[in-house]
Amino acid sequence: QVQLQESGPGLVKPSETLSLTCTVSGDSVSSADYYWSWIRQPPGKGLEYVGHIYSGGSTNYNPSLRSRVTMSLDTPKNQFSLKLTSVTAADTAVYYCARQRPFYYGSGTYSDWFDPWGQGNLVTVSS
């Protein structure tokens, strides 16, 4: 059974860097079949894709966050991490890590699904 668990501080000051780690059990972050992703959800709002990292370290970030986001892999620890710099109150959210399965059906048709998800880590940006 694959499980993901986020860890990190629940409170970050404005202009500082948010850092979260996701520990994976039951699968390997080196797997060639999956991306390892971060998704966030501001209180009372919908889901926002932050980005993903793939084995080997290739990344893809939400264009709206790209200038502030860095993701990394720690293969020996089977973890992946998120750093978001220069945070503001707008970055207050529950941050989820999730395993993302990209799939190409051919003829230009794609799909992605996220399963499983971590339980989420509420990060509040406040002084």
Partner 1 sequence: SSELTQDPAVSVALGQTVRITCQGDSLRSYHASWYQQKPGQAPVLVIYGKDNRPSGIPDRFSGSGSGNTASLTIAGAQAEDEADYYCNSRDSNPHHVLFGGGTKVTVL
- 53 vs 125, beta carbon nearer partner 1: 53
Least distance (Å) from partner 1 to the CB of residue 15?
Answer: 27
Total site size for partner 1, rule CB under 8 A: 28
The answer to the question of residue 2 lying near partner 1 (CB under 8 A) is no
Span interacting with partner 1, options 15-23, 46-54, 69-77, 84-92, rule CB under 8 A: 46-54
The answer to the question of residue 96 lying near partner 1 (CB under 8 A) is yes
Report the Cα 13 to chain-centroid distance in Å: 20
Pairing of strands 35-41, 18-25: unpaired
- 110 vs 127, beta carbon nearer partner 1: 110
Question: Within positions 49 to 68, which residues make up the interface with partner 1, using CB under 8 A?
Answer: 49, 52, 60, 62-63
Which neighbouring-strand residues pair with 37? Answer: 52, 98
Which residues contribute to the site for partner 1 (CB under 8 A)? 37, 39, 46-49, 52, 60, 62-63, 96, 100-101, 103, 105, 108-120
